[in-house]
Amino acid sequence: MKRALVLLLACFACAACRRGMVDQQHLKPLAEENFFRDGAGSRIPPAHTVARGQLRADEQFFTGKIGNNLAATMPMPVTREMLERGRERFEIYCAVCHGRTGEGNGMIVQRGFPQPPSFHEQRLREAPVGHFFDVMTNGYGVMYPYASRVSPEDRWAIVAYIRALQLSENATPADADADGAKKLETAQR
């Protein structure tokens, strides 16, 4: 009984603190405030400051480019985990238009959206990885950008998965390892 009472009191105490935090004096973002000489409540960060986590020093990772050229290599090693993440993200964000195999026949296209090119055409098989990253980051023709919805890391995972799709569409049984070759053989019988 005593314990329950203490607990109840503690609850009241916490509830009381909370209101005070909510009601304290504060400014709405970008509201007028005469405390500062320019009359603006929001402060402009001093020149050349960078918010924590926003340095973006790794040009290849954030833009898919090295200097003015599209990067021909991935900025990180490709792992199985990354490919699986890439497949998941691709099927969420891209497959609706590009189709699950990247042929360009997704459901939205079947319902009338302009048809994207197949990822298996020669030009896109030869395109550098940076091109795919750049298309997602900045958009391309009628395709809008995905930078606000897909993080740079996930965009690279999608690039890796697109490369895997391209490989798989043009693979021969000789490309499989011993285990895979055996599976193919039984599947063909």
| Calpha distance 74→70 (Å, rounded) | 11
Could you tell me the smallest distance in angstroms from the CB atom of residue 101 to ligand HEC? 13
d(CA 80, CA 161): 10
Closer residue to ligand HEC, CB minimum distance, 29 or 112: 112
**Closest CB to ligand HEC among residues 60, 131:** 131
Give the chain's length.
189
Query: Which tokens belong to 62?
Result: 């954030």
- Residue choice 40, 101, 113, 120 for contact with ligand HEC (CB under 6 A): 113
The amino acid at residue 61 is F
What minimum distance in Å lies between the beta carbon of 141 and ligand HEC?
2
Is 124 within 8 Å of 140 (Cβ atoms)? no
Q: How far apart are CA 146 and CA 162, in angstroms?
A: 16
Judged by CB under 6 A, does residue 147 bind ligand HEC? Answer: no
> What is the number of the residue whose Cβ is closest to ligand HEC?
141
Residue ranges in contact with ligand HEC by CB under 6 A: 93-94, 96-98, 108, 113-114, 116-117, 132, 135-136, 140-143, 146, 150, 158
